[in-house]
A and B are shown apart, each in its own frame.
Chain A
Amino acid sequence: MESRRDVFQAIADPTRRAILLLVAAQAMTPNAIAEEFHTSRQAVSKHIQILTECELVKQEQKGREIYYHINANKMEEIDKWIEQFKKILVTQFSQLDKVLLTIKKQRK
Chain B
Amino acid sequence: MTNNLLFDFTVDKAAKTVFITREFDADLSLVWDAFTKAEILDQWVAPKPWRSKTKYMDFKVGGQRFYAMVSPEGQERWAIQKYTSINPKTNFKMFNAFADKDENLELPGSNWDYAFSEQDGTTKVSITIYNESLTRMEKMIEMGFTEGFKMSMNNLENLLATLS
Q: Which residues of A contact B (CB under 8 A)?
A: 6-9, 11-12, 14, 17, 21, 24, 70, 72, 75-93, 95-101, 103-104
Contact = CB atoms under 8 A, between A and B. Distances in A.
Interface string B21-33: 0101110001100
Interface residues of B, number: 41
Contacts of B160: 11, 17
Instruction: Give the dominant DSSP class at B's interface.
Output: mixed
Interface of B: 2, 5, 7, 9, 11, 13-14, 16, 18, 20, 22, 24-26, 30-31, 34, 40, 43-45, 47-48, 133-134, 137-138, 140-141, 145, 148-151, 153, 155-157, 159-160, 164
11 contacts: A8-B14, A12-B13, A77-B138, A78-B13, A80-B141, A86-B9, A91-B48, A95-B43, A100-B24, A100-B31, A103-B40
B150 A76 contact: yes
B131 to A, nearest CB: 9
A99 B149 contact: no
B44 A8 contact: no
B134 A90 contact: no
Nearest to B140: A85
Nearest to A90: B7
- Ranked nearest first, the 9 interchain pairs of A and B with the lowest CB-CB distance are A12-B14, A95-B44, A91-B47, A96-B44, A100-B26, A8-B13, A84-B141, A80-B149, A99-B43
B161 to A, nearest CB: 9
Given A80-B151, A84-B149, A85-B140, 12 more contacts: A11-B160, A76-B150, A81-B140, A81-B141, A83-B151, A84-B145, A88-B140, A92-B47, A95-B47, A97-B25, A103-B26, A103-B40
B47 A88 contact: yes
A79 B34 contact: no
Contacts of A99: 34, 40, 43-44
Nearest to B131: A8
Contacts of A11: 13, 160
